[in-house]
Amino acid sequence: MEAGIRTTLKVAREVSPYGFFLTDGNRDVLLHYSQVAGGISPGDEVEVFLYHDSEDRLAATMKRPLIEWGKISLLEVMEVHPRLGCFLDMGLDRHLLLPVREMPEKPELRPVAGDRVYVYPDRDKQGRLLARLAREQEFEKLVVPAPGSWKNRWVDAIVYKSLQMGSFVICDAGVLGFGVLGMIHRQERTRELRVGEQVRVRVAFVRPDGRVNLSMRKPKHESQTEDAERVLAVLRERPNGAMPYSDETPADIIAEKFQMSKAAFKRALGRLMKEGKVRQQGNWTYLQQSERN
């Protein structure tokens, strides 16, 4: 008997006020009255799920959990403990622990209550059930390729890994199947994303292997106006309407300061200069007098 599996056991005896003791012929396990579905009697065979109860004893339930051994599940985060990790709803009276060591080092990238995370069940050294974050190799067997018609479509996605270089997600594929693997490059993010966070993204490119490159930004012709307004807002807050950024500023500094790619920044500057709202001198950009508040 091991936690996390569904198995068929024989009802050995009933012990009031606790419940029924089930056996595999070698070991007994308690099926509490609260975990019984339907009427059963000693001698019956019942299908149960094994897990550890609130007192860390191996126990049985006839309820069907939201996880299954060897399969990926999408579970909701119910509570977060800064030292232990996240507690997930697995459809039983006991929550499933996703240990803190499974999550990103940066606390701001970790799931929060209400997020949903892709996990698979595992056991700790004591044999207790716990969750581990699903990895790309587990998804590869389940995902479907995105059709070419997805280009420029907006889709919902859930983050399963978030790194400095970008965020890796599973896009909702609807009736197509489990989902589509995608990546949001850091220059296409408007902010860093948590593992388990749901985000609305635009399909920028459908790769030959069926995976997708994604963006949190609107297409260039739509986002250029927003980018230009963001640059103007920064300039208006600066002393004398001047900032030490120009089209020569390194891309990483642009991304950190303006949350946009260098290409988008240059397009925004070009538009503002063409409209006569800003001017550049050396590595500085200046707000024209007519635009100052």
Euclidean distance between CA atoms 245 and 211, whole angstroms: 35
Q: In the structure, what pLDDT confidence band is assigned to residue 55 with cuts at 50, 70 and 90? A: confident
User: Domain extents for the chain?
Assistant: 6-61, 73-134, 143-215, 220-291
Q: Regarding the domain delimited by 6-61, which CATH topology (the fold level of the hierarchy) does it fall under?
A: OB fold (Dihydrolipoamide Acetyltransferase, E2P) (2.40.50)
3-state SS assignment for residue 69: coil
| pLDDT tens digit sequence for 61-97 | 999 999 999 999 999 999 999 999 999 999 998 899 9
DSSP conformational letter for 148: G
CB burial readout 140-164, b (16+ within 10 A) else e = eeebebbeeebeeeebebbbbbbee
Mean pLDDT score, 24-53: 91
Q: How far apart are CA 61 and CA 72, in angstroms?
A: 21
Residue 34: count other Cβ atoms within 10 Å of its Cβ. 9
Query: CATH assignment of 220-291?
Result: 1.10.10.10
Residue 226: predicted pLDDT: 82
Q: What is the DSSP letter of 231?
A: H
Measuring CA to CA, which residue among 177, 192, 166, 195 is closest to residue 75?
A: 195
